[in-house]
Amino acid sequence: WHPPGSSSRGSWKMNGWKKTDTEVVCSPPTAYIDFTQQKLDPKIAVPAQNGYKVTNGSDELIEQKVAHALAEGLGVIACIGKKLHAREAGITEKVVFEQTKVITDKVKDWSKVILADKPVWDIGTSKTATPQQAQEVHKKLQGWLKSNVSDAVAQSTHIIYEGSVTRVTCKELVSQPDVDGFLLGGSSLKSEFMDINAKQ
């Protein structure tokens, strides 16, 4: 990494010998890792420039990110419920409410916030939530907002669904009273993305 305006070049000077046991690496910005790997000789390793200190994030990290984004005037789509090892029955509500509370503490202007519900039980499994299960969670989230924030915020805040959605399931999902739209993962990479949007 170089500070803006600086640059450096490798200078081999008179060191013209060839070594066969030298390991060469090229470390580009993260967005270019795949590109760089494709272009370079496979003998050259492509390490990342940066990493994160734990395997995955935490509620506090989300809190800080939301606070920072809002303070900078950005809007956020806050994903609720994406928590591993939260598959055991009965703890969905606890997880969802805890995460919503963490975000809520940082929000002053709710017009900048969309909540996305990611069903906690379908992560890493082949199980998908039914439209009724999605509705149940969205209704609980709305109820949470109503009693813990305000009626107006509960009415106006969009709660979108981030579970598995297909061209077949989208109609029934979006007909649920408290499902206000979708945040699409895998299906946004397929042609059915157009069908899902067309049906709304």
Task: Tell me how far, at minimum, the Cβ of 57 lies from ligand NAG, in Å.
Answer: 8
Task: Tell me how far, at minimum, the Cβ of 85 lies from ligand NAG, in Å.
Answer: 6
84 binds ligand NAG (CB under 6 A): yes
Q: Which stretch binds ligand NAG (CB under 6 A): 3-11, 13-21, 131-139, 144-152?
A: 144-152
The site for ligand NAG, by CB under 6 A, has a size of 10
Tokens 């800080």, residue located: 64
Nearer to ligand NAG, 12 or 52 (CB): 52
d(CA 115, CA 121): 18
Tokens 């809007």, residue located: 75
148 binds ligand NAG (CB under 6 A): yes
Residue choice 111, 147, 175, 188 for contact with ligand NAG (CB under 6 A): 147
Q: Give the type of residue at 104.
A: T
Identify the CA nearest to 118 among candidates 88, 75, 58, 78: 78
111 binds ligand NAG (CB under 6 A): no
Residue choice 6, 22, 50, 55 for contact with ligand NAG (CB under 6 A): 55
Residue choice 92, 96, 144, 165 for contact with ligand NAG (CB under 6 A): 144
Sign of CA dihedral 68, 149, 183, 80: positive
Nearer to ligand NAG, 132 or 148 (CB): 148
Task: Tell me how far, at minimum, the Cβ of 91 lies from ligand NAG, in Å.
Answer: 13
Identify the CA nearest to 167 among candidates 124, 138, 198: 198
d(CA 59, CA 83): 9
Cα dihedral value 68, 70, 75, 79, nearest 10: 60
Q: Which stretch binds ligand NAG (CB under 6 A): 1-9, 10-18, 73-81, 140-148?
A: 140-148
Tokens 């009626």, residue located: 151
DSSP string over 80-116: ES--TT--STT-HHHHHHHHHHHHHTT-S-GGGEEEE
Report the interface residues with ligand NAG, using CB under 6 A. Answer: 54-56, 84, 97, 101, 143-144, 147-148
